[in-house]
Amino acid sequence: MPAAGRSAETGGPADPRPGGTGTQSQEGAPRGDFGAPSVRPAAAGGAITSAATARDHVRTLLSEHGRTGGENPDAVIDVLLVVSELVTNAIRHGGGLAGFDATLTDGGVRLAVRDNSDVVPVQAYGTGEIPRTDRAHRTNGYGWPLIIRISDAVTVEPCPGGGKTIRVFVPLT
């Protein structure tokens, strides 16, 4: 199956160039380059503004290409979990969600989430170890370890003009 992408940038139009990246900033600078062209412009339902709309977007992308889990339905759940964590982190800790891109490949899904903060999360390049604490009901600090454990690759790139893009690859096999 060829690579397919479905972009839902919060601020700009899809990149129409052959081999384009699928998303552009309002200034026209490409973002989310995974080496595969986008199949469609922004999601029919509108811009990605929450973890729920991002999950719906990715669920639709997978469904449209017959990738609903088949022999490994947990893989789809894993992708949706990573989407939720990345988007929620951008909103809660990154100064707001500034962009979202999902690209389907033969082996999985490439995700790019852009936020408005230059700060690299402390655990971004960690081991994926769950934080240990003496507190009985810790309510945060689990997202990055999950992202690292589920994803095959994690990169954090600064964006021109500020902010950063976090890119991950989540296998579907």
pLDDT at 28 (0 to 100): 33
Query: Which is more confidently placed, 129 or 167?
Result: 167
Is pLDDT at 131 greater than 80 in this prediction? no
pLDDT, average across residues 64-81: 87
Is pLDDT at 25 greater than 60 in this prediction? no
pLDDT at 24 (0 to 100): 30
Is pLDDT at 18 greater than 90 in this prediction? no
Q: How many whole angstroms separate alpha carbon 49 and alpha carbon 44?
A: 13
Residue-wise pLDDT for 77-100, tens only, equals 999 999 999 999 999 999 999 999
Name the band, by pLDDT with cuts 50, 70 and 90, for residue 41: very low
pLDDT, average across residues 8-27: 34
DSSP string, 62-123: HHHTT-S-TT-HHHHHHHHHHHHHHHHHHHHHSSSEEEEEEEE-SSEEEEEEEES--PPPTT
Number of H helices, E strands in the chain: 3, 7
